[in-house]
Homo-oligomer: A and B are copies of this chain.
């Protein structure tokens, strides 16, 4: 079932590469083009079969594309999307995979107000602490959530086509406003990353000899790319400040209960946390990925 004749992916790393692999495998496009900054990535992407055609010039890469996917670090997305819009054909749809949405979608809605190119924000919520096209997997998006944004400036037809594309890759699509998106992901994704980075930093090297599975799993995402995550954190500052307070209140509550030897209060907090986490696993944790 072909969704688009030509798809162009700008930035072919873990996510962009996985989208290319999946789109080709499922026959969603006649041709998938990748736009690269580095020759080494280009070679790896072609070897992995993530793209059919590889170019280094954005204008050349997007000029015939029906769908353009910007899959680069958050801070570069508006600029790359604008460059793509300049060379894209009328009616082309641009989407992105950025982990913050209000900052990106706001910039694009303002910039493309009178354009014949349509922009729709997306956030396929799949990933890994690993980066690069060599870790790309055709099934990365299967079973994961993908948020597509709707604003007063969003073209409905383009939004439906973008949503259908992610569904065809196996994602569970949800439509949210950019600010609803940023609130939700600040809690379920940005906050866990900040907590994992903080935890990894606070354990001195000489204690690590005794660390086991608990430490390993709790800090796994602290091995993520600092550049990518600094971008995400700094473009979602307001929501992160709110989520940070929610975590701080839980944490300080447990620490105070322990310090004052109030076992009943500790138990209450731990039971509540376990219930929340167990209910997550029952509802969402066991789904196919």
Contacts and interface: CB of A to CB of B under 8 A. Distances in A.
A228 to B, nearest CB: 10
Contacts of A279: 205, 208
A interface majority secondary structure:
helix
Nearest to A289: B213
A55 interface: no
A157 B247 CA distance: 48
A277 B199 CA distance: 9
Given A192-B215, A202-B243, A197 B261 contact: no
Contacts of A210: 125, 145, 147, 174, 184-185, 188-189
A259 interface: yes
Interface stretch (A31-39, A76-84, A88-96, A267-275): A267-275
A226 B270 contact: yes
Nearest to A223: B277
A6 to B, nearest CB: 30
A125 B9 CA distance: 46
**Interface size bucket, A side?**
35 or more
Nearest to A212: B125
A202 B208 contact: no
A56 interface: no
Given A208-B188, A234-B261, A255-B244, A203 B276 contact: yes
A191 B202 contact: yes
Contacts of A213: 127-128, 289
A195 B274 contact: no
B222 A277 contact: yes
Interface in A182-239: 183-185, 187-189, 191-205, 207-227, 229-230, 233-234, 237
19 contacts: A126-B212, A187-B202, A187-B203, A188-B211, A189-B211, A189-B215, A195-B199, A195-B218, A196-B214, A197-B254, A197-B274, A209-B284, A215-B280, A216-B280, A217-B218, A223-B277, A224-B274, A230-B266, A234-B263
